[in-house]
Amino acid sequence: MLKLPPLSLYIHIPWCVQKCPYCDFNSHALKGEVPHEEYVRHLLADLDADLPLTAGREVSTLFIGGGTPSLLSSEAMQMLLDGVRQRLPLSADAEITMEANPGTVEAERFSGYQRAGVNRISIGVQSFSPQKLTRLGRIHDADEAKRAARLAAGLGLRSFNLDLMHGLPDQSLEEALDDLRQAIELNPPHLSWYQLTIEPNTLFASRPPVLPDDDALWDIFEQGDKLLTAAGYQQYETSAYAKPGYRCEHNLNYWRFGDYLGIGCGAHGKLTQPDGRIIRTCKTRHPRGFMEGNYMDRQHEVADSEKPFEFFMNRFRLLEAAPREEFTHYTGLQQAIIRPQIEEALEKGYLIETAQAWQVTHKGKLFLNSLLELFLTEE
């Protein structure tokens, strides 16, 4: 029996002060002023065009990402969130997150974002080391990062997150742990701790830096995980740690194969229809084309053969067990379809199965790609 999953909204702000060499997100270095109100008008028009795909459902989480959303004026943010509320039923206790760079966080503007409805901030710190920040092309320094975190803590928000990276060019174990210690000292309710990966079409891909080897990376992860656990953080996803009660609800909805509207340059959406079809949308990447009113780049229906891989690619990133009934609820497919793959995963020790759920084992986490490949369809 198909059940419509929870619905989230993602809004993309494409500009940043300068492009970082590791970044493969759809971001564009700012030339001149941000077209604040003009872009917001286009965002709301884009939302209007997608409303028929939402089946009138309530939105439980909203995430404003980028780029650097904190380049948007607080007045434009107010206009944007007011416009969203006029068009969509937004849950009364919706988690509303905005990404911010420490160098663009100003106290006055931040209070304005909060008045507009933002109740969770995600601050892109990445490192506290001046050398590493320079290497990563970041424009803030450690003091600005700490100031931004203290500002977020003092605003009385629902929560805030610090983004931190490890496995940086020429990074030693002690340097990685020192970054973590400084982050923990700021006491964020949520910490995202990502391993740097070299993505295609980035500056680092064309001129690759020397990164720590696999053994060094494992040591960093093992020691860092112990530090975080001792400080009261619980890992709930590959790169996400939170104090009890502070997990990121928006990201949880992605990983649980929930639905999301994607609005703005290059944003992706996944929307389950009442008839069981799953529609994926992708918006025009470049601001120029988007602001000419050409919002939709492409839209397609997910084939039944692709649904198992898409479901598990998200679900198995989480450390929590995956309720078996959700497979049918969210894909409309019977479990019998994936029985051979599940049996193989059980045999290889990647999964544990109960009558209610599937749980990825420690071995399954280490060989996550091999586990997911079982669900890939042959072309």
Cβ-proximal residues to 113 (8 Å cutoff; 6+ apart), any chain: 70, 74, 77, 98, 121
For the domain spanning 7-253, the CATH number is 3.20.20.70
pTM greater than 0.75: yes
Closest CA to 375 of 315, 322, 301, 306: 306
Closest CA to 278 of 312, 250, 305, 313: 305
Mean pLDDT of 329-342: 96
CB 67 within 8 A of CB 14: yes
Q: Which residues pair with 289 in a beta bridge?
A: none
The string of pLDDT tens digits covering residues 68-124 is 898 999 999 999 999 999 999 999 999 999 999 887 666 568 889 999 999 999 999
The string of pLDDT tens digits covering residues 201-220 is 888 878 888 899 999 999 99
CB 64 within 8 A of CB 11: yes
pLDDT at 285: 95
7-253 and 304-379, same CATH topology? no
CATH 3.40.190.10 for domain 304-379, yes or no, is no
- Judging by beta carbons within 10 Å of its beta carbon (0-12, 13-18, 19+), is residue 36 exposed, middle or buried? middle
Going by DSSP bridges, is the β-strand pair 90-100/59-66 parallel, antiparallel, or unpaired? parallel
Cα gap 187→250, rounded to integer Å: 21
CB 344 within 8 A of CB 374: yes
pLDDT at 102: 87
The string of pLDDT tens digits covering residues 9-57 is 999 999 988 878 778 778 888 877 889 999 999 999 999 999 999 989 9
Closest CA to 197 of 257, 240, 239, 250: 239
DSSP states of 132-192: HHHHTT----HHHHHHHHHHHHHTT-SEEEEEEEES-TT--HHHHHHHHHHHHHT--SEEE
The H or E element that residue 3 is part of is none
Going by DSSP bridges, is the β-strand pair 234-237/15-16 parallel, antiparallel, or unpaired? unpaired
Domain map (residue ranges) of the chain: 7-253, 304-379
